[in-house]
Structure 1
Amino acid sequence: MSKVSNSNSTYLLSSSNQQLNSDWQSIQTIQHTIPLIYNKISIFQKDNSNMLKNTLINNCISNSPPKSKMAMPEKKVTISDYQVLDTLGKGSCGFVKLARRKSDGKNVIIKYVVKSLVLDGCWTREDNVKIPTEIHILKYITENFPHPYVLRLLNTWEDNYYYYLEFDSQNCIDLFECIDNRRFTTEAQVKKIFYRIVQGVQHLHHINIVHRDIKDENILIRDDDTVEIIDFGSSAYVKEGKKFDKFCGTGGYAAPEVLSGQKYDGPPQDIWSLGILLYTMIYGSNPFRTLDQIITSEVQFPVIVSSGSHDLMCRMLNRDFQKRPNIDEVINHSWFNDLTEEDKQIPKNTNIPIENSNEEIENNKENEIKKIEKIEIIKKEEMDKDNSISKVHSEEEEDITEMDNISVEILTPMENEKEIESIKLEEDDNELTSTTLNEELIKKLDLHSVVSEECDVRSDSTLVD
């Protein structure tokens, strides 16, 4: 554009000179106007020269590395940047897929969280930004207190239908499959794996986070027998003096006070779930067959494998949540005394700065607690009022550009609707989901009429036939 302008101005100057030469006689008759004409030509030529100079300078600057404040924003990530390879599973508010990054060919795990299915009480607001608590907590852990035994978030983005969470893809198997495949044949194997799970939960509790859905399906076992706690869809921040009033998680692992509709503290719920988990690892099945039994019955042991494991399970499965041990008392239980230092040592990971020691956590804890206190838990009704969810479907036709961000190789809008409906209708035959259980709790705080479905029970036991 600048070269064209310069050429045109030169042409104008040349044309003016030719006209002045051919009509010299005429110009002599208007000598009083000549100074004005030449002044205008001179000014125009000067302005044109400055424009050319500025253009050259700008071109030079544009070829130089941009300054940080002038840097262009990074390209917005969309699901079309990934090639979906397989569906790995479904949950109460989304599904998980294996995908390959098109940019570098790396395989990753992508969790799709359906916006309209995020549970009530699982939304967080900080600085007027509203996102699912799961995303806020995962970002908080990854950026401030990463741990080798806790899931690490790589990236997150959203479109009209979903929040997307990207994680590393590793060679691992979930604890559910390990138990079903009878991978643990000795108490020593169970002890080592369980101790590492407790180390991960201890890390969460020390930074004021409760998981609220600890179960075998949410524990991954790597090839080297290290663990990873996953699925933070029910997780929450613990605030002093505040109790929870919403059930989140899995019925078969929920504590009696939670299923009874009482307000509850988060950490004792995690301790109860750990007790159920240890029982399942040792005996191969859940100690309770129905939710009624969880509320009313004491845990029964087919045999006592060892006095240490029996004592620890009895303590964690105490029906009085005030008498359950805290996570530090669990990890210091005498049952773990014969573990080697190597088994207790948390491995170093090149991707995770392990310098976040307990000492550093304690030093930063006061500041972090202040940040957590500012975080608000908001209800789903408020999200609907802000039209962040309720207008998704009405905007499909109006905002085609946004909908184009959903890759057609993943799901079309119609397929999105079918996928969401299938998640709503799909109920596990062996357990009540947090969604259905919450609905019953809202109707009436009497679970005895709605807990006839059995909890997860396996016919095969792990250490005891």
Structure 2
Amino acid sequence: MAKEEDDDNLPDKDAAKEFYAKYEPKEIIGRGISSTVRRCIEKDSGREYAAKIIDLSQESQDGVDTHTMRDATRQEIHILRMVAGHPYIIELQDVFESETFIFLVFELCKNGELFDYLTSVVTLSEKKTRYIMRQVLEGVRYVHSKSIVHRDLKPENILLDDQLNVKITDFGFAKVLKDGEKLFELCGTPGYLAPETLKANMFDDAPGYSMEVDVWACGVIMFTLLVGCPPFWHRKQMVMLRNIMEGKYSFTSPEWADISEDPKDLIRRLLVVEPNVRIDLEEALSHPFFNTVAIKSSGFNARGKLRLALLCVRAAVRLRRLPHTAARAVPLRDALRDPYTMRALRKVIDGCAFRVYGHWVKKGEGQNRAALFENMPKTELKSLYVSNLSR
């Protein structure tokens, strides 16, 4: 293995001889509390993979002891092998375990996390949201078919391959359920927790929760993809948790004005507080939002041909008028007064904001994309961005 000058967190070669004999680690592509993810190359085939190197030599920063971490990792490995082979679930290629390190070798997803992709594009169109959400729902359906609940679905735990296909990952909180079993542990990420998960932690007589929590999380993800921020987030966590318990969210922000009714209806059905009434995955995948209309050719159609010709003429006329239309642009004073009501400006503003402050809008309980515009009134902050852009 070639020596890298300022490499840290690189384990001793003697700790996992088999790993180093088979793979050549390259640059770091991710870090966790007690782990490092490196791109690596299989020596025999030249194929690229991602190696997650888990350090068991000392307690992690959150106080988890070595034995607990090892057991949790083995449980995750067991679940990953149970769900292996599905196109929308991350593939575990190899496992190497020593006294101080565990090496998990996964397929490499070069487009990284859905979270980072969303940050770069701000929001997704209905077409792209349909493409991603269909894959997410199909992947989760397969996980559930194995009697497994994921419990931590979020954009950070969804990777994208070269063709932007979904790969569900991070099964650290996943659990295999027995028939009729209910869970009561509070785990996951606050903004994506289902109401029944919170109730199980807050009330002694709560009935617990099951696989429906993943369906709720899918609703939160879909909402976030369409408008760039999650439905329940609030800088005061108690307010956010109350919003989740009450299922309190809305489609009133300007971003929703350009979105059709079908995705809104599916979100309403996914984000139902009562799990027994919440739409299931089969129903969700059959929702009109995922329906595509096939255009069938039925031979010559005189009326259709005439309509097409008229549309071509109208398009030509509009193209001829385009320079005159462009001359009557929106006055700068109107753009500065209320920029966020204009779709084109809204995309520019959000795009610039996320690029400038992307280093701050990172993962975690206290920070997320929704927090970016919460430090001052939206109109004041966004007008400030436009003013800076016009300089």
Q: Identify whether the pair has TM-score above 0.5, normalized to the shorter chain.
A: yes
Q: CA deviation at 1:205?
A: 0.9
Q: CA deviation at 1:271?
A: 0.9
Q: CA deviation at 1:323?
A: 2.1
Q: CA deviation at 1:428?
A: 9.3
Q: CA deviation at 1:110?
A: 0.7
Quick one: distance in 2 between partners of 1:93 and 1:326?
36
Q: Is residue 198–residue 331 contact of structure 1 (8 Å, CA) maintained in 2?
A: yes
Which residue, 261, 273, 277 being the options, matches 1:323? 277
Q: CA deviation at 1:266?
A: 3.3
User: Does residue 226 of structure 2 align to residue 293 of structure 1?
Assistant: no
Q: CA deviation at 1:81?
A: 4.5
| Counterpart code for 2:249 | V
Q: Is residue 124–residue 136 contact of structure 1 (8 Å, CA) maintained in 2?
A: no
Name the structure 1 match of 2:228: 284
Which residue, 268, 274, 278 being the options, matches 1:314? 268
Name the structure 2 match of 1:215: 154
User: Does residue 42 of structure 2 align to residue 98 of structure 1?
Assistant: no
Q: In the TM superposition, what whole-angstrom CA distance separates every residue of 1:179-233 from its partner, at most 9, and x where no partner exists?
A: 1121765212211221111111111111211211111122222333422111212
Name the structure 2 match of 1:252: 191
Q: Is residue 299–residue 317 contact of structure 1 (8 Å, CA) maintained in 2?
A: no
Quick one: distance in 1 between partners of 2:294 and 2:225?
20
User: Does residue 285 of structure 2 align to residue 335 of structure 1?
Assistant: no
Name the structure 2 match of 1:229: 168
* Cα 1:243/1:91, change in 2 over 3 Å: farther
* Cα 1:169/1:97, change in 2 over 3 Å: same
User: Does residue 100 of structure 2 align to residue 156 of structure 1?
Assistant: no
Quick one: distance in 2 between partners of 1:96 and 1:148?
22
Q: What does residue range 150-189 of structure 1 map to in structure 2 within 5 Å? A: 150-182=89-121, 185-189=124-128
Quick one: distance in 1 between partners of 2:117 and 2:72?
38
Quick one: distance in 1 between partners of 2:120 and 2:34?
28
Q: In the TM superposition, what whole-angstrom CA distance separates every residue of 1:263-318 from its partner, at most 9, and x where no partner exists?
A: 63231111111111001100101122234234212012223522211111122112
Name the structure 2 match of 1:273: 217
Larger Rg belongs to: 1
Q: CA deviation at 1:79?
A: 4.4
Name the structure 2 match of 1:457: 370
Q: CA deviation at 1:156?
A: 0.5
TM-score of the superposition, structure 1-length normalised? 0.52
* Cα 1:177/1:100, change in 2 over 3 Å: same
Q: CA deviation at 1:245?
A: 2.5
* Cα 1:174/1:289, change in 2 over 3 Å: same
Q: What does residue range 343-354 of structure 1 map to in structure 2 within 5 Å? A: none
| Counterpart code for 1:274 | C
Quick one: distance in 1 between partners of 2:33 and 2:280?
29
Q: Is residue 252–residue 456 contact of structure 1 (8 Å, CA) maintained in 2?
A: no
Q: Is residue 154–residue 166 contact of structure 1 (8 Å, CA) maintained in 2?
A: yes
* Cα 1:227/1:246, change in 2 over 3 Å: same
Name the structure 2 match of 1:194: 133
Name the structure 2 match of 1:112: 53
User: Does residue 82 of structure 2 align to residue 140 of structure 1?
Assistant: yes
Q: Secondary structure at the match of 1:273?
A: helix
Q: CA deviation at 1:102?
A: 3.8
Q: Is residue 159–residue 167 contact of structure 2 (8 Å, CA) maintained in 1?
A: yes
Q: CA deviation at 1:456?
A: 4.4
Q: Is residue 100–residue 108 contact of structure 1 (8 Å, CA) maintained in 2?
A: yes
Tell me which of the two structures has the higher relative contact order, counting C-alpha pairs closer than 8 angstroms and 6 or more residues apart. Answer: 1
| Counterpart code for 1:267 | M
| Counterpart code for 1:431 | G
* Cα 1:123/1:329, change in 2 over 3 Å: farther
Q: In the TM superposition, what whole-angstrom CA distance separates every residue of 1:122-166 from its partner, at most 9, and x where no partner exists?
A: 9799xxx99621101112222xxx211111111101112222111
Quick one: distance in 1 between partners of 2:219 and 2:278?
10
Q: Secondary structure at the match of 1:132?
A: helix
Q: Secondary structure at the match of 2:29?
A: strand
Which residue, 78, 99, 102 being the options, matches 2:19? 78
Q: Is residue 192–residue 339 contact of structure 1 (8 Å, CA) maintained in 2?
A: no
* Cα 1:454/1:87, change in 2 over 3 Å: closer
Q: Is residue 279–residue 285 contact of structure 1 (8 Å, CA) maintained in 2?
A: yes
* Cα 1:159/1:328, change in 2 over 3 Å: same
Q: Is residue 151–residue 228 contact of structure 1 (8 Å, CA) maintained in 2?
A: yes
The alignment of Structure 1 onto Structure 2 pairs a total of residues equal to: 275
Q: Secondary structure at the match of 2:18?
A: coil
Q: Secondary structure at the match of 1:243?
A: coil
Q: What does residue range 358-369 of structure 1 map to in structure 2 within 5 Å? A: none
Unpaired segments of 5 or more residues in structure 1? 1-74, 342-426, 433-452
Q: CA deviation at 1:88?
A: 1.6
User: Does residue 218 of structure 2 align to residue 264 of structure 1?
Assistant: no
Quick one: distance in 1 between partners of 2:215 and 2:54?
27
* Cα 1:130/1:311, change in 2 over 3 Å: closer
* Cα 1:94/1:160, change in 2 over 3 Å: same
* Cα 1:189/1:78, change in 2 over 3 Å: closer
Quick one: distance in 1 between partners of 2:369 and 2:100?
32
RMSD of equivalent CA atoms = 3.4
